[in-house]
Amino acid sequence: MTTSSIDGIIEDFELLDNWDDRYRYLIELGRTLAPFPEAERSDATKVQGCASQVWLVSRATPAAAGTRLDFLGDSDAHIVRGLIAILMALYSGRTAPEILAADPAAVFARIGLKDHLTPQRSNGLRSMVERIRADARNAPTAPAH
């Protein structure tokens, strides 16, 4: 799997002129997600508030700069998988304070998705972001020794 950087994704979106191309790119991003373990598909990992089925798990790794969180996600909807890929690029590998300081609304506004998502998808996106932020708030804070 190749995870794109959030800056690279923003640049790619800015190069695409029309929304058909942007949606195709979003679906392509979803295809880059790491395989989601079947064992993780449970009610505990399911994101509530999404019209599609969405699963999200976090893994905390102690590091010198503080605990880093990595995320895995999946959905049964192609566009939602693309949204997950953007969230993974924005949040994975960051510390809890970095995650809590990130402004996903600004990212989605900058690439224009904010105005091109249905209200249901926007609500689902908010639910995914809130789950990621909750995981960051609950992450252990002790740095590695």
Give catalytic residue positions.
Answer: 50
99: Cα separation from own chain's centroid: 11
Q: 102 with 133: CB under 8 angstroms?
A: no
Nearest of 34, 31, 27, 24 to residue 59 by alpha carbon: 34
Question: What six digits make up the tokens of 63?
Answer: 């590091």
**How far, in Å, CA of 31 to CA of 71, rounded?**
16
